[in-house]
Chain A
Amino acid sequence: MTPTLVPLATHSQIARTPSGEDGLPQELEEDLRAFGCKLIHQAGILLNQKQVAVATAQILFQRFWFVTSLKQFSIGDISMGALYLASKLEECPIRMRDLINVYDLLLQRNSHELSLHSSPPPSSPSHRPQPTHVPGHNLVMASPAAPAPSPSNGKTKFKYTPMAYFSDAFYNLKDALVVAEMQILKRLGFNMLVVLPYGTLINYLRLLGLTNHKEACGKAWGYLNDALQTPVYTIYAVPTIVSAAILLATRHLGISLPSTPPNSWWDLFDASWEDVWTVCGHIMRLYRDRTLEERLEVMRMVNKKEVRKWLEENNSL
């Protein structure tokens, strides 16, 4: 049986993303996309949604930005729409109201976090919160919106105020959700085919005789999940990404596999070294230390208005 051919970004789509054309630097775009994926992940956990739906949503979300500029749509709205859509695709639909409530919480927490830092202008880099992530594990708790160790002396603890049942906030978010879902469908040409990497990983680990190596399996699995915050699933076929996850995991643990050119293990999986290495680069870039300013900037730009403001400020110079 021939495998499902999922849509992948073309060479020119990768080289010149719509946001890049609008003047957004590549690194900032990557961080913004990753932030949207983290929102999906967090919402998925709060909604007790299945990981297949979360992963599908993240892949659709990443695809969207190859045909749309971050100036046009907010990552908040589109990530919400992607999760709603993916839940239907994976036959585990969620209630609109539940999703909206969860997103309201996440966005409130986001603005709370921002307000903590906005009142005193970010002064000394001494109290930069340490990144709490562990490579190869779910990054959900390491995301900027998570209750990070607050540098301010706990002056205001975040308190969530739920919205009223018939509030304007609800209807605004609902409209945004319906529009976002339809825009994702339309801009992706209704091609919602997604292939998740997990089954392939198990097969490859089995073939490499690594299934008894618990740590290697767990790490590779974690790298695959972290890779969902990068655009790699929209650029490379699954075998390449899985090979990259295995490469990172085995290198990290010092497991040696035949890797000298004529006998390279990734050849078994039809992955080319350059591609595997590029995917590793994408994943490793997630773990780069971000300064507080960088993180706050990304959090602020969850809204497209802030993206536009940023573009005006930075491109007029």
Chain B
Amino acid sequence: MSTVAEGTSAPSRKRTKWDEEDHENEAIRRRQQALSRQLRSLRKPRMTDVTSVPKGTSLSRSPIRDAYSIFVPPRAHHPPIQPSRSVYCYERLNQIEEGSYGVVFRARDKETGDIVALKKLKLEEEKHGFPITALREINALMSCRHENVVHIREVVVGDTLTQVFVVMDFIEHDLKTLLTLMPAPFLQSEIKTLMLQLLSAVAHCHANWILHRDLKTSNLLMNNRGTIKVADFGLARRYGDPIGVGGLTQLVVTLWYRAPEILLGATNYSTAVDMWSVGCIFAELLLKEPLFQAKGEIELLSMIFKLLGPPTSATWPDYCTLPLAKTIAISPPHAHQFRQRFPHMTALGLDLLTSLLTYDPQQRISAEEALHHPYFSESPLPKHPDLFASFPSAAAGEKRKKPFDSPSAPLRAADRIFAETELP
């Protein structure tokens, strides 16, 4: 076996866990070896007692360990303990937006020239030290590194202890502005690509025990290469069992994307609240406008009841146990109206939408399940991200060209003379 041959040629003494040079190639090789080793070990009977390990299998492995399991990456892959750099490593370009959480700037890394987004955290008048919400946001971003989650580069500090900036990759668009500005809605094939990306990001966050709790189109950034990135983890938090002191707050998720169980006062909600938001986003991509544009919580509930049909003991068994369930009057039962609202959807597409917009959080589809929904394998297939159109970026201060800005036809000579003579 090649592993053994390579293992004996490379003495372990040389490759201590400290060496840091050219681990890039090493890592790839090790990972491949680790995978092949894993495959082999899958074929082996599971070891419960070490003394019963068959001798052959241990001999087949080189005594000099050179393949790391993918679960134990070499030490050199761990980041070092590194203090925050100064914000003066960046040159400020323009302000992108301002929210309740702070201001976002576009900036340039003075060393590398990379364009980044700097988010300044609001830290004045903090009574409890560094705000737990900001901690959750930074921690969520750091622990959820994924192709479709906005990449956090570092956290830099200003002169005083109240100036903290989160440095992220700059992404040209957010899906909300894009949807309102683009002349035609996304194609089915494009929607599938976007949904797959969104679902894999959400699945990754959930696998890392992070709830996003504010998924909406304006928090989905999109670059000019057809990739979307989930951003703004300002409301994100870790979940688990036990939930933690005080349970979970109901003051989460922008109203239009808020799941019915939060509206009805549940304090033990879980990953399903994000899936409801994903359903709202899916519908918004199809409709090119938000699905539930309600002004208040009661109106939102009645809009949900109208589209899904009022909840029944079959569609939502735990409905009655929710704190606010008794205060809501349920309209007489009627069938759901998805077909009327989405007349051009395929049956499978509609099935995914109804699985996402399901009353009972227990029955609502998970991100992992949704990724394997047959909707994504029926025609038209998801479009390759590289084939997406690109758009001028509002955040970077680029202007959209007027759609009909072709040069005007030459004026007739007679008209020109006429025009000139008209002048005083």
Contacts and interface: CB of A to CB of B under 8 A. Distances in A.
A270 B69 contact: yes
B63 A93 contact: no
A243 B58 CA distance: 19
Contacts of B164: 190
A91 B209 CA distance: 13
A82 to B, nearest CB: 12
Nearest to B161: A182
Interface stretch (B47-55, B256-264, B321-329, B398-406): B47-55
B161 A193 contact: no
B83 A186 contact: yes
A209 B72 contact: no
A10 B80 contact: yes
A209 B132 contact: no
A261 interface: yes
A5 B83 contact: no
Given A5-B73, A91-B238, A262 B59 contact: yes
B135 A269 contact: no
Contact of A193 (B139, B237, B244): B139
Contacts of A239: 72
Residue with the highest number of chain B CB atoms closer than 10 Å, among A13, A191, A209: A191
Nearest to B70: A2
A263 B53 contact: yes
A189 B238 CA distance: 20
B77 to A, nearest CB: 6
Interface string B42-67: 00000111110101001101010100
Given A1-B207, A193-B142, A265-B50, A178 B129 contact: yes
Interface string B168-197: 000000000000000000000000000000
Contacts of A272: 12, 17, 65
A182 B129 contact: yes
Contacts of B75: 8, 236-237
Nearest to B13: A274
Contacts of A193: 139, 142-143
Given A92-B244, A182-B161, A187-B83, A257 B135 contact: no
Contact of A3 (B48, B71, B139): B71
What band does the interface of chain B fall in when counting residues whose beta carbon is under 8 Å from A?
35 or more
B148 to A, nearest CB: 15
Contacts of B65: 267, 270, 272
B72 to A, nearest CB: 4
Contact of A8 (B63, B81, B83, B128): B81
A179 interface: yes
Interface residues of A, number: 57
A11 B18 contact: yes
A263 B58 contact: yes
Interface in A246-268: 257-258, 261-263, 265, 267-268
Contact of B142 (A3, A93, A191, A275): A191
A89 interface: yes
Contacts of A4: 143, 208
B268 to A, nearest CB: 14
Given A96-B129, A261-B63, A262-B58, A5 B79 contact: yes
Residue with the highest number of chain A CB atoms closer than 10 Å, among B49, B53, B79: B79
Contacts of A207: 47-48
Interface in B224-278: 237-238, 243-245
Nearest to B55: A263
B82 interface: yes
B138 interface: yes
B81 A9 contact: yes
Given A92-B245, A182-B129, A182-B130, A188 B58 contact: no
Nearest to A95: B128
A175 B294 CA distance: 45
A177 interface: yes
B81 A13 contact: yes
A193 B79 CA distance: 11
A311 interface: no
A88 interface: yes
B96 interface: no
B157 interface: yes
A14 to B, nearest CB: 9
Residue with the highest number of chain A CB atoms closer than 10 Å, among B130, B142, B237, B245: B130
Contacts of A261: 63
B78 A237 contact: yes
Interface string A1-32: 11111111111010000000000000000000
B335 to A, nearest CB: 41
Contacts of B238: 91
Interface of B: 12, 17-18, 20, 47-51, 53, 55, 58-59, 61, 63, 65, 68-73, 75, 77-84, 128-130, 132, 135, 138-139, 142-143, 154-155, 157, 161, 164, 207-208, 237-238, 243-245
14 contacts: A2-B73, A7-B81, A9-B81, A10-B80, A91-B237, A93-B245, A191-B79, A192-B139, A193-B139, A193-B142, A207-B47, A262-B58, A262-B63, A267-B61
Interface of A: 1-11, 13, 63, 66-67, 84-85, 88-93, 96, 177-179, 181-182, 185-193, 207-209, 234, 236-237, 239, 257-258, 261-263, 265, 267-270, 272, 275
Given A179-B161, A186-B161, A209-B50, 15 more contacts: A2-B70, A2-B73, A5-B77, A5-B79, A7-B81, A8-B81, A10-B20, A66-B81, A89-B139, A92-B244, A187-B84, A189-B154, A192-B135, A193-B139, A239-B72
